[in-house]
């Protein structure tokens, strides 16, 4: 496509500027850069000019509550959780990111995983010490006051009969996904009635939770309360959201979180993107375009040039950064794609809502060979011509040659 004030160089300049803005530190303090050891006395810091517990913002005519990191400076977090032990059950993507962020923020956090398994070895590699802050799931659940159930969805179902006896009165049960609670008819995860049950769901992978925290930015997350026994469940969920590395949080429910999450990752976030990229690439190749041209016009330009502009300033900004010819075509064809995709998205949402997606996920996740089976499917994607071409294209990026 012809872009950016008639030249690609102009768009590249705009993209670089957008990336520089994206990389700029958030105005909120970096919990990582300003952390203090748990044993150290908290430093006195000037109070922010305006202290608030939340804001109500207008999202296109709908008022919503938003909670920000500025409301929970590090010393406040450390004091709030000074009597708590975070028992991180599971050390997958979210467990890794949230656990390391909690540790860097000076929280008393321990990890519980299967002894000598792969997650145990990874935790040791990240500096968790067996017998000090690395235990079996059962030991960690016994010691913890806040039980962070970050096992996989299938593992939560399998381990609940044993784990539930450690969820005792006065403890807090924490999730980062509404899956097990909402689909209880399939998972049999039913918490006791005398504990707070809360959720903080980062809107990204655990790797992103970690990298954004280290950059001082913070991921956005949702928070929800399923059961409030203490009368402070929401406050605790918000504080935990900030402690694990969130920059800001918005309220939802367990049900809405899992519906939107399962729907989104199967749609625009992952499944839909792969399907649309593949279809466009294959049509270009079938019409005689070279692999490099097909990949650049399908994936590389989207990911490296246009999507960053959308991320920074919105779709309208990206349209205006492109040539009038590109803009006209995009405006004309967007409704066609919307019309074609709408029935697929409606069918997808129904599949999430009626539990079909959950049944498929649990059935697959409970296979003894599920890891190997997943690898076969993702390896098949990696072996598609489009993504094999992508390896070569990415190696040509100028910054790669300087690494």
3-class DSSP string for the chain? CCCCCCCHHHHHHHHHHHHHHHHCCCCCCCCCCCCCCCCCCCCCCCCCCCCCCCEEEEECCEEEEEEEHHHCCHHHHHHHCCCCCEEEECCCHHHHHHHHHHHHCCCCEEEECCCCCHHHHHHHHCCCCECCCEECHHHHHHHCCEEEECCCHHHHHHHHHHHHHHCCCCCEEEECCCHHHHCHHHHCCCCCCCCEEEEEEECCCHHHHHHHHHCCCCEEEEEEEEECCCCCHHHHHHHHHHHCCEEEEEECCHHHHHHHHHHHHHCCCCHHHHHHHHHHHHHHHHCCCCHHHHHHHHHHHHHHHHHHHHHHHCHHHHHHCCCHHHHHHHHHHHHHHHHHHHHHHHHHHHHHHCCHHHHHHHHHHCCCCHHHHHHHHHHHHHCCHHHHHHHHHHHCCHHHHCC
- Residues 234, 277: one domain? no
| Residue ranges of the binding site for Mg(2+) | 261, 265, 297, 301
Residue at 37 is within a domain: no
Model pTM score: 0.81
- Residues 328, 207: one domain? no
Output the pLDDT for position 402. 58
Residue at 242 is within a domain: yes
Output the pLDDT for position 16. 46
Output the pLDDT for position 44. 34
- Residues 241, 369: one domain? no
Output the pLDDT for position 188. 95
- Residues 311, 194: one domain? no
Residue at 46 is within a domain: no
- Residues 304, 371: one domain? yes
Output the pLDDT for position 36. 38
Output the pLDDT for position 400. 67
Structurally, the chain folds into a number of domains equal to 2
- Residues 362, 213: one domain? no
- Give the domain range for residue 356: 271-396
Catalytic residue among 177, 289, 391, 399: 177
Q: Which residues of the chain have pLDDT under 50?
A: 1-52
- Residues 275, 238: one domain? no
- Residues 69, 192: one domain? yes
Q: Which of 252, 280, 307 delimits the end of a domain?
A: 252
Output the pLDDT for position 54. 66
- Residues 285, 245: one domain? no
Residue at 263 is within a domain: no
- Residues 130, 246: one domain? yes
Q: Which of 252, 282, 306 delimits the end of a domain?
A: 252
Output the pLDDT for position 247. 93
Output the pLDDT for position 365. 86
Residue at 211 is within a domain: yes
Residue at 182 is within a domain: yes
- Residues 76, 200: one domain? yes
| Residue ranges of the binding site for substrate | 323
- Residues 132, 192: one domain? yes
Is 96 among the residues known to form the active site? Answer: no
């Amino acid at each position: 496509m012809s872009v950016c004030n008639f030249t690609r160089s102009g768009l590249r300049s705009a993209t670089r500027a957008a990336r520089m803005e994206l990389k700029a530190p958030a105005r909120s303090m970096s919990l990582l850069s300003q952390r203090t050891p748990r044993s150290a006395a908290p430093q006195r810091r000037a109070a922010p000019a305006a202290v608030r517990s939340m804001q109500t913002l207008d999202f296109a005519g709908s008022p919503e509550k938003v909670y920000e990191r500025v409301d929970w400076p590090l010393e406040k977090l450390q004091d709030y959780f000074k009597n708590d032990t975070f028992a991180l059950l599971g050390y997958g993507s979210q467990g890794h990111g949230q656990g390391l962020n909690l540790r860097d923020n000076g929280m008393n956090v321990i990890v519980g995983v299967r002894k000598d398994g792969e997650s145990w070895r990874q935790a040791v590699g990240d500096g968790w010490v067996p017998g000090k802050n690395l235990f079996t799931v059962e030991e960690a659940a016994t010691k913890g006051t806040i039980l962070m159930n970050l096992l996989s969805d299938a593992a939560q179902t399998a381990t609940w009969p044993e784990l539930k006896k450690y969820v005792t009165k006065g403890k807090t049960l924490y999730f980062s996904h509404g899956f097990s609670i909402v689909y209880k008819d399939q998972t049999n995860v039913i918490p006791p009635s005398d504990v707070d049950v809360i959720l903080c769901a980062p809107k990204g992978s655990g790797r992103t939770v970690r990298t954004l925290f280290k950059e001082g930015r913070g991921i956005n997350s949702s928070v929800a309360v399923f059961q409030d026994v203490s009368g402070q469940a929401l406050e605790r969920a918000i504080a935990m959201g900030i402690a694990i590395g969130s920059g800001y949080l918005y309220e939802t429910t367990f049900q809405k979180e899992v519906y939107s999450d399962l729907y989104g990752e199967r749609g625009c976030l992952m499944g839909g993107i792969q399907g649309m990229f593949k279809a466009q690439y294959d049509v270009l190749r079938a019409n005689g375009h070279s692999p490099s041209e097909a990949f650049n016009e399908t994936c590389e330009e989207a990911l490296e040039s246009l999507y960053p502009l959308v991320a920074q300033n919105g779709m309208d900004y990206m349209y205006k950064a492109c040539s009038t010819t590109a803009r006209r075509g995009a405006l004309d064809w967007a409704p066609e794609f919307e019309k074609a995709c709408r029935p697929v998205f409606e069918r997808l949402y129904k599949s999430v809502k009626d539990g079909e997606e959950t049944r498929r996920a649990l059935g697959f996740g409970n296979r003894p060979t599920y890891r190997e089976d997943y690898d076969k499917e993702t390896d098949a994607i990696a072996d598609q011509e489009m993504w094999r071409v992508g390896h070569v294209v990415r190696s040509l990026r100028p910054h790669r040659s300087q690494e």
